[in-house]
Amino acid sequence: MDEDRKARINRLKWHCRRALLELDLVFDRFWERYEDSLDEQGEAALESLLELEDHDLWALVSGREAADDHRQAAMIERLREVSPAANF
Amino acid sequence: MTYTVRKFDAVIVGAGGAGLRAAIQLSEAGYKTAVLTKVFPTRSHTVAAQGGVAASLGNSEEDHWHWHMYDTVKGSDWLGDQDAIEFMCRKANEVVVELEHYGMPFDRLDNGKIYQRPFGGHMSNFGEKPVRRSCAAADRTGHAMLHAMYQRNVKVNTQFFVEWQALDLVRDAEGDVMGVTAMDMETGEIVVFHAKATIFATGGAGRIYYSSTNAFINTGDGVGMAARAGIPLEDMEFWQFHPTGVAGAGVLITEGVRGEGGILRNSAGERFMERYAPNAKDLASRDVVSRAMTTEINEGRGCGPNKDYVLLDITHLPPETIMKRLPGIHEIGIQFAGVDCLKEPLPVVPTCHYQMGGIPTNYSGQVVVPKGGKHSEPVLGFYAAGECACASVHGANRLGTNSLLDLLVFGKSAGETAVNDLKNSVKAHKPLAQDAIDRSLARVDRLNHQKDGADVHETRLAMQRTMQKHAGVFRFKDMLAEGVSRINEIAGQVAQTQIKDKSMVFNTARIEALELDNLIEVAKATIVSANARTESRGAHVRDDAVDTPETPDGRDDKNWLKHTLWYRDGNRLDYKPVQMKPMSVDTIELKKRAY
């Protein structure tokens, strides 16, 4: 991994440390699966989601609300898909 | 290693509820105040607090701080200091009204006053009947609180250092504190924050357990730093467990699920709570349910391939009821257990929720240690508040909604005391203790250069599993003793952790290794303190503490009505008396804690 990408990914990873355990768990699985393949568009979508307040983000990830932006919506799909349930 | 020094009047570590409240006090008084935080302030774990904040405002029915005080002393199983509890309950109305003035959007009654709801353990007239005492902002009380206080801090020019990891306390040979060393996560740069007042508000360390409701950031950084600097830790054997966390994940399943008719079952499908609490059954108090669950698991009646959880069954309830009354539970089941709770039961285990012990303080927020024959002498320049501190108001068991009150009252109190000290006694910065800085730098340097060391993730997991198994919600003599040796072994590995990634920008591997240095101190303190306390009290329940007329439910006031103090140096224990004398009212006399 080149240094720039590594720094960007590391920054994103830290921003995935949240106030709610639910989100920590979802992001933990997400990185396990997508760290190597996340492209720049995905990085941007993730970054915009990470700007949200935790309760709002959890409302999206838990499916109680839907994202307006299609890129965000696509990222939410990936976060839902790698939720721990997918491992059962 | 190189570092720079920055000078402030005050440095506060942690920007959750307690840190933000303390910062308001200092910045409003015109003192140059730095707040260091690992994550953006409104992403602190205070966000997760939903229940509300307790205050005897009496907006819906008669209430009094003295009744609140009684409930808190009783809830603490008489281990709480009665002066600090009186202080907190008397200050509650003031801090809630202040918060309202900062813009907190409390739920309201039609007459415009703050709406209050009942909460477990809060009663009127000295334990007579439930009282409406909790003030909330929908189900986002903690979140709304952080926002209101963050905005207030911005207004009064508090300087935030966001995404900084505090490393170590700077404490000199005389025991005085003059700041902290810290690392900027973005650059890896190390800075010494030289201050006249240092306030810790770093939250709890719930991540020492394998099953925890706490977010990943709750690694007890302040508690670990204090221990390394020679400050004893108080009452660390007392951890509150919630009976129903999702097995393997920790995510909380609200008590409301059992309230709506949810039933706990063992591997035989038996409703086992009928044997432990024939009347209340699944709705018995948290500790009773947690102990029963642990007994079922320990006796081989747990479920799953490892027989290590029980089941929470709501499949008999109408799906409409579940979706309407328990929104979110269905999704949590699917997300974190892979279970559709309308069709299958949820796997649950007792899960670590809250740290009652911590850095010893008095009700003024000063950190206190035994010195010169006295048991509670202030450490000059050092203050603490919130979950990382032990005032001690929660004693052996915390009441719901008292945690948000704790961080408001003692956050303010620590800030206020620091302001007074800056005004009256601490005029200049005390010279930095170079040896303390060197030790801190050496710790980071060791980590950066360690070869053939232990893996951080694996070592943390070993610690968490050991704590869960050996010092969980229900404790056994032999298991505790074995756990002490095991945790000491793991501590040896923590001292030799190795990271492969040596990069400087947001190196999460390094941060996690530094967090583990803090977690292990908390784990050691917890298991050593729990092993020594041979009674049952509040959240600390031992199988070998027998129920006799002199020791009801295993509580032994004759020998154990005292606070534990654990010192890192030599894994040593000391004790100090519980403050039974309140500030102005009569002592709330000892009796059996029964509801």
Report the residue of B183, B216, B353, B387 to disrupt the A interface, i.e. the one with the largest count of A CBs within 10 Å: B216
Q: Compute the nearest-CA separation of B316 from chain A (Å).
A: 23
pLDDT mean across residues, chain B: 95
For A83, the closest of B46, B335, B508 (CB atoms) is B335
DSSP at B151? H
Measured at the alpha carbon of residue B54, what is the angle toward residues B51 and B55, in degrees to the nearest 5? 150
User: What is the spatial distance between Cα B284 and Cα B556, in angstroms, rounded to a whole number?
Assistant: 24
* Mean pLDDT on B305-320: 94
CA–centroid distance for B315 within its chain = 34
Report the residue of A21, A31, A65, A81 to disrupt the B interface, i.e. the one with the largest count of B CBs within 10 Å: A21
pLDDT in tens, B479-490: 999 999 999 999
SS3 for B109? coil
Q: Do A62 and B214 touch (CB under 8 A)?
A: no
Indicate if the pLDDT at residue B434 is higher than 60: yes
**DSSP annotation string for A31-57:** HHHHTTT--HHHHHHHHHHHTS-HHHH
> Dihedral through CA B356, CA B362, CA B366, CA B369, nearest 10?
-80
Count of beta carbons in the 10 Å neighbourhood of residue B139: 13
Q: Compute the nearest-CA separation of A60 from chain B (Å).
A: 12
Contact B191, B424 (CB under 8 A): no
- List for chain B the helix, strand, coil content (%; round to 5): 40, 25, 40
Q: Do B336 and A85 touch (CB under 8 A)?
A: yes
In chain A, which residues have their Cβ closer than 8 Å to the Cβ of B500? none
pLDDT in tens, B176-208: 999 999 999 999 999 999 999 999 999 999 999
Q: Compute the nearest-CA separation of A20 from chain B (Å).
A: 5
Measured at the alpha carbon of residue B254, what is the angle toward residues B251 and B255, in degrees to the nearest 5? 140
User: What is the spatial distance between Cα B355 and Cα B23, in angstroms, rounded to a whole number?
Assistant: 23
pLDDT of residue A84: 55
Mean pLDDT of successive 10-residue segments in chain A (88 residues)?
88 96 95 93 96 95 90 93 52
Looking up tokens 């003059």 gives B178
Name every residue whose Cβ is closer than 8 Å to that of residue A49 and which is 6 or more positions away in sequence: A57, A60, A67, A72, A75, A76
Pairing between β-strand B159-162 and β-strand B164-171 as defined by DSSP bridges? unpaired
pTM to 2 decimal places: 0.96
pLDDT of residue A1: 66
Catalytic residues of B: 286
In chain B, which residues have their Cβ closer than 8 Å to the Cβ of A21? 48, 212-216, 249-251
For A14, the closest of B334, B338, B508 (CB atoms) is B508
In chain B, which residues have their Cβ closer than 8 Å to the Cβ of A79? none
Count of beta carbons in the 10 Å neighbourhood of residue B38: 24
Count residue pairs from A and B with Cβ separation < 8 A.
103
Q: What percentage of chain B carries pLDDT values higher than 90?
A: 89
* Mean pLDDT on B410-428: 97
For B216, the closest of A24, A63, A84 (CB atoms) is A24
* Mean pLDDT on B378-385: 98
B303 pLDDT band, cuts 50/70/90, is: very high
Q: Which residues pair with B8 in a beta bridge?
A: B195
CA dist list (Å): B317 to B31, B272, B273, B345: 58, 19, 18, 11
End-to-end CA distance of chain A: 31
CA dist list (Å): A10 to A6, A15, B506, B511: 6, 9, 5, 11
In chain A, which residues have their Cβ closer than 8 Å to the Cβ of B213? 21
User: What is the spatial distance between Cα A26 and Cα A18, in angstroms, rounded to a whole number?
Assistant: 11
Indicate if the pLDDT at residue B225 is higher than 70: yes
Q: Do A22 and B505 touch (CB under 8 A)?
A: no
Residues 203 through 242 of chain B touching chain A, CB cutoff 8 Å: 212-217
Q: Do A53 and B44 touch (CB under 8 A)?
A: no
Count of beta carbons in the 10 Å neighbourhood of residue B293: 27
Q: Do B48 and A84 touch (CB under 8 A)?
A: no
Q: Which residues pair with B303 in a beta bridge?
A: B309
Q: Do A87 and B338 touch (CB under 8 A)?
A: yes
pLDDT of residue A23: 96
> Dihedral through CA B233, CA B235, CA B237, CA B238, nearest 10?
-130
For B251, the closest of A22, A28, A88 (CB atoms) is A22
Q: Do A54 and B338 touch (CB under 8 A)?
A: no
ipTM: 0.94
Q: Which residues pair with B389 in a beta bridge?
A: B359
Report the residue of A4, A9, A22 to disrupt the B interface, i.e. the one with the largest count of B CBs within 10 Å: A22
In chain A, which residues have their Cβ closer than 8 Å to the Cβ of B212? 21
Indicate if the pLDDT at residue B478 is higher than 90: yes
B216: closest CA among B48, B386, B430? Answer: B48
DSSP at B429? P
What domains appear along chain A, each with residue ranges and CATH number?
Answer: 3-81 (1.10.150.250)
In chain B, which residues have their Cβ closer than 8 Å to the Cβ of A61? 335
Name every residue whose Cβ is closer than 8 Å to that of residue B196 and which is 6 or more positions away in sequence: B9, B10, B178, B381, B421, B422, B426, B428, B429, B430
Q: Do A88 and B338 touch (CB under 8 A)?
A: yes
Give the helix ranges, DSSP H, for B186-247: 221-228
Indicate if the pLDDT at residue B80 is higher than 80: yes
